[in-house]
A and B are shown apart, each in its own frame.
Chain A
Amino acid sequence: METLAMHISNGIINGPVAAIFAALALVALTYCVLRGRRDLDDRLAPMAGLVAAFIFAVQMLNFPIFTAGVSGHLLGGALAAMLVGPWVGALCVAVVLVVQALVFGDGGVAMLGLNITNMALLGTAAAYLLIALLLRVLPRTRAGLAVTAFVAATLSVVVASQGFVVEYWLGGTTDLGNNLAGLAGTMAGVHVLIGIGEGLITATTVLTVAKVRPDLVYALRSRRTPTTPAVPVSGGVR
């Protein structure tokens, strides 16, 4: 039996809870579309397509972690948030998860809402909050950017893994007795290690893009133009 991706399979979480999360994910993604449209211009749209394709590719690359017999792979939320912003970034990861579930049989179709909630929504949101904070306090150097990408990516993976624990608490199909904390601990421990891999990949990729085309790194935009109006103009005319 070959196992390929960190996605919830059918039967792990019960149907009603999966359906509730599907509805939740749909609402959240709709909001991301509405907010993301403000960011999506002629330049960001193709970049977002590339980010989605790149995340798909890197998600195939399971890397070994220090624990014997366990692997992990990129989730991509932090990378997407750095490169195309939180709203479009969450949509990029969601596109990847939908393609994986519908074309590659990876992650149950009925479980899609749960997987989107953890990896596209929670992972990207946690990453972006950290990115916004760290870019403010760290020095504006390449090292600062690398540390931001690394820390945001690492912690976002742990947050996403705990999203699964909450879902399992609500609708897990195996009674763990009082051992939910055990699952939380196991998940957190293994995902800290996976997160380090995620952090290294994210920092490397972001630094590379920042070197070649700094104008294509969303997280660096506010630095380049400090006079950007803080309040978005709703009419679309600036």
Chain B
Amino acid sequence: MKNRSWAFLAGGLLVALLLAGVVSNYASSHPDGLDSSLLKGCTVDADDTIVGGSCPAQQAKDHELGDSPLADYGVRGVENSFLSTGLSGVLGVLVTFAIGLGGFWLLRRRGTTPATGDDGTSAEGDAVTAGRGRTGTSD
């Protein structure tokens, strides 16, 4: 992988961390499309809690891991809700990135080069004739 690719990855990750860590606090807390559809038939109060009627959402049961330390996008023990949401978002991005990166890295084809040259340079084309050569990768 070339330096430019690492820069792109780092930049993308930074954007994701900012979105999950800061912007997430400004997200709408109203029920989403699925939940609101399942609430049809019920009446809800200002906090979107069911106060009457009958609807599919009433069948909802507790989550198996509802007492997980990060349940409902908060960090248990962190009182400040801004911090709690942001921290859980940052952890979520890092966990997802780690699992995705690790998993896809293990699954990847080895011994072949990308169909199109990295960064548009022709240097990697040599690896096609070299067979199993992996070029420009660190670890």
Contacts and interface: CB of A to CB of B under 8 A. Distances in A.
A194 interface: yes
Contacts of A46: 1, 5, 9, 101, 104-105
Nearest to B33: A190
A6 B38 CA distance: 11
Interface stretch (A20-28, A132-140, A146-154, A169-177): A169-177
B108 A187 contact: no
B63 A10 contact: yes
Contacts of A67: 36
A70 B34 CA distance: 9
B62 interface: yes
A141 interface: no
B68 interface: yes
A52 B116 CA distance: 23
Interface size class of B (residues with CB under 8 A): 35 or more
Contacts of A106: 63, 72-73
Given A45-B105, A46-B101, A212-B8, A56 B72 contact: no
Most chain B beta carbons < 10 A, residue from A10, A36, A44, A100:
A10
Contacts of B40: 182-183, 186
B126 interface: no
A97 to B, nearest CB: 10
Interface size class of A (residues with CB under 8 A): 35 or more
B17 interface: yes
Interface in A45-96: 45-58, 60-65, 67, 69-73, 88, 91-92, 95-96
Contact of A174 (B59, B100, B108, B137): B59
B96 interface: yes
A19 interface: no
| Majority secondary structure, B binding face | helix
Contact of B93 (A6, A57, A168): A57
A57 B89 contact: yes
A236 interface: yes
B39 to A, nearest CB: 9
Contacts of A52: 96-97, 99-100
A104 B24 CA distance: 15
B96 A61 contact: no
Interface string B58-72: 111111111010111
Contact of A43 (B61, B73, B96, B114): B114
A172 B92 contact: no
A36 B106 CA distance: 12
27 contacts: A2-B29, A3-B31, A4-B72, A5-B32, A9-B60, A36-B107, A40-B104, A40-B109, A45-B107, A49-B97, A52-B100, A53-B13, A54-B19, A60-B89, A61-B24, A62-B29, A91-B104, A99-B96, A104-B70, A104-B88, A108-B64, A110-B64, A174-B56, A186-B40, A187-B33, A187-B34, A236-B112
Given A56-B92, A57-B19, A106-B72, 10 more contacts: A41-B114, A43-B5, A50-B12, A54-B16, A57-B15, A60-B19, A62-B29, A95-B103, A108-B61, A186-B37
Closest 6 CB pairs of A and B: A49-B101, A11-B61, A52-B100, A49-B100, A105-B71, A53-B97
